[in-house]
Amino acid sequence: MLNKRRVLTLLIPFIIFITGAVFLATPLLKGSDPSKLDSALIGQAIPEFTLQDIYDENKQYDASILKGQKMLLNVWATWCPTCYAEHTYLNKLAQQGFYIVGMNYKDDRKKAIRWLKDLNDPYKISLFDKSGLLGLDLGVYGAPETFLIDSQGIIQYRHVGDLNEQVWNDKLLAIYEAMQ
Amino acid sequence: MIKVSKFNLLSVLLLLLGSVLFSTNGQAAIDTFEFDNAQQEKTFHELTKLLRCPKCQNQNIADSNAELAKDLRNKTYDLVKQGQSKEQVVDYMVARFGNFVRYDPPVTPATIFLWLGPLLFIIFGLLVLFKQIKKQRSKTTHLDDQEQQKLQALLQKHVKDTHS
């Protein structure tokens, strides 16, 4: 009896070690990236904004355009190499009928328009956020970022970084399908 | 009054020194912010040290040269200038970037271990220590019945031997 207890006591450091090892190894093995942060706005409505259309200075939009159906809000810029990489996939998603709104973030209007003409425009609406005002309210900390927004205009998910087939099929599609 | 003028002289000198440094540094990333009063300036500097740049993992927005850190410094400046308190500015940033932007995380279910962990560790250590001490004490003082009898016999024998 006493011996059994002694063995158990001696096992405690080992158990603590294993727990610690599992705790530390999980994010490593899962390949989670510490630079990818969860959005603080999940479950919240899109903040109010007034932004110009990228093609037309006189056309203005507000938060009501990000409501009424589920959609993707893609934050991009011409200075962002990863945005270039994901643009082809965005075109593919648009072809499949997904409703994508683009937000050009802290960029040059002419360059952005040329980009959309050269690489095709997957966006139903293109917002021009020159000063990064909406970007700040959305907690954007880099481009590209893609928000999943439900028909009520509530943010359900944010993906930071390259949007590609793997990410879409493994993660975003399921969240998109589950949205109202 | 003399003290005040001395102070003014010092600040003028500092300003001159500053302008010399700035002009030689040319393009160095030093933002110049003007404040209504010293309190605002203090709040601003405390905030930029406290707020973490979301883009750069482990730098506050005062140290970082990232575009985003610059934006956040400007926003912090605007908010402070508007007369917002430290807590209000921190809340503003947390609402957008989450608790990641704070270098002093609040106590939440997810972070409670940071505070309780060391305490639990110490308590656990003390418990183990006390148990060990108790064990050792009981080992050295207690003899079972058989050992007690043996001891008595030995003592008696010893007494007999010395007396004879």
**Confidence category of residue A73, pLDDT binned at 50, 70, 90:** very high
Select the more confidently predicted residue: B65 or B18.
B65
User: Least CB-CB distance to B71: which of A35, A41, A132?
Assistant: A132
What pLDDT, on a 0 to 100 scale, did the predictor assign at position B141?
64
Same domain, B54 and B78: yes
- Note the Cα A42 to chain centre separation in Å: 11
What pLDDT, on a 0 to 100 scale, did the predictor assign at position B144?
80
Measured between CA atoms, the residue of chain B closest to residue A106 is B67
Residue type, A49: F
Same domain, B19 and B6: yes
Same domain, B5 and B43: no
DSSP designation for B51: B
A49 touches B: beta carbon within 8 Å: no
What pLDDT, on a 0 to 100 scale, did the predictor assign at position A27?
81
Query: What's the rounded Cα separation, in Å, for the pair B28 and A46?
Result: 37
> Mean of the pLDDT values across residues A77-100?
95
Distance from CA of A178 to the nearest CA of B (A): 24
Which residues on chain B are in Cβ contact (under 8 Å) with A40? Answer: 94-99
Helix/strand/coil for A124: coil
Of A1-10, A33-42, B3-12, B122-131, give the range with the top mean pLDDT: B122-131
Of B18-22, B51-55, B56-60, give the range with the top mean pLDDT: B51-55
Residue B90 belongs to domain with CATH number: 1.10.8.640
Count how many pairs of residues, chain A against chain B, have C-beta atoms within 8 Å. Answer: 32
How many domains does chain B fold into? 3
> Mean of the pLDDT values across residues B69-86?
94
User: Least CB-CB distance to A40: which of B68, B75, B94?
Assistant: B94
Same domain, B130 and B97: no
B108-147 pLDDT per residue, tens: 888 888 899 999 999 999 999 999 999 888 776 667 888 8
Same domain, B4 and B56: no
Query: Residue A174 pairs with which residues in a beta bridge?
Result: none
ipTM, 2 decimals? 0.80
Distance from CA of B10 to the nearest CA of A (A): 38
Same domain, B49 and B18: no
Which two structure tokens, joined as six digits, stand for A15? 């158990």
The continuous run of DSSP H or E covering A97 comes out as: none
Rounded to 10 degrees, the C-alpha dihedral B41/B42/B43/B46 comes to 120
**Confidence category of residue B17, pLDDT binned at 50, 70, 90:** low
A50-178 folds as: Glutaredoxin (3.40.30)
**Is pLDDT above 80 for A147?**
yes
Same domain, B139 and B158: yes
What pLDDT, on a 0 to 100 scale, did the predictor assign at position B18?
54
Which chain B residues touch A if contact means CB-CB below 8 Å?
54-55, 57, 67-68, 71, 75, 94-100
- Interface probe, candidates A36, A38, A105, A136, chain B, greatest B C-beta count within 10 A: A136
Which residue is it, tokens 């993992």? B57
What pLDDT, on a 0 to 100 scale, did the predictor assign at position B146?
87
> Mean of the pLDDT values across residues A104-111?
95
Q: What is the mean pLDDT of chain B?
A: 82
**Is pLDDT above 70 for B164?**
no
Which residues on chain B are in Cβ contact (under 8 Å) with A35? Answer: 57
- In terms of residue numbers, what domain contains B43? 32-106
B45-69: burial string, b at 16+ Cβ within 10 Å, e else = eebbebbbbbbbeeebbbebebebb
Query: What's the rounded Cα separation, in Å, for the pair A131 and A138?
Result: 13
Residue type, A144: P
Across the beta sheet with A60-62, what order do the strands follow? Answer: A60-62, A50-53, A125-129, A100-105, A71-76, A145-149, A155-160
Which residues on chain A are in Cβ contact (under 8 Å) with B57? Answer: 34-35
> Mean of the pLDDT values across residues B79-105?
93
CA distances for A15 relative to A9, A10, A21, A150, angstroms: 10, 9, 10, 45
The continuous run of DSSP H or E covering A128 comes out as: strand A125-129
Same domain, B2 and B54: no
> Mean of the pLDDT values across residues A161-177?
94
What pLDDT, on a 0 to 100 scale, did the predictor assign at position B27?
39
Q: What does B72-92 look like in DSSP terms, one character per residue? A: HHHHHHHHHHTT--HHHHHHH
Same domain, B148 and B131: yes
Same domain, B128 and B146: yes
